[in-house]
Amino acid sequence: MRRRTRKLIGTIAMVSFVVVYALVLMALAQAQPLQQANGIVQGLFYGIGGMGWILPILPLIRWMERGGD
C-alpha cells in the first residue's frame, strides 16, 4: 500500500477515534460520582483522560509512517 493511501486511511481512523473517545469521555465526566468528587480527582480525570487517547493511537501513527512506496 502506498504511503499516501496509508496516511489517508490513518487520518480518517484517527479523527474518528478521537471524536468517539471525546464523546465517551464527556459522558463519563457527567457521571454523578465525578461531579461530586473534589477538584483533585476531577483534575486527575481530565488530565489522564485528555492524554489517554495518545497511547491507543501510537500504533496507527507508526503504521502510517512505515516506509515503502
CA distance 43 to 26: 14
Residues 8-36: pLDDT tens digits?
999 999 999 999 999 999 999 998 888 89
Contact between residue 63 and residue 10 where contact means Cβ atoms under 8 Å apart: yes
Contact between residue 17 and residue 53 where contact means Cβ atoms under 8 Å apart: yes
Q: Where are the domains of the chain?
A: 3-65
**Is residue 68's pLDDT more than 70?**
no
Share of the chain above pLDDT 70, in %: 96
Contact between residue 64 and residue 12 where contact means Cβ atoms under 8 Å apart: no
pLDDT band at 55 (very low <50, low <70, confident <90, very high): very high
- The pTM score is 0.82
Average pLDDT of the residues in 35-58 = 93
Instruction: Give me the pLDDT at residue 41, please.
Output: 92
The count of other CB atoms within 10 Å of the CB of residue 60 is 16
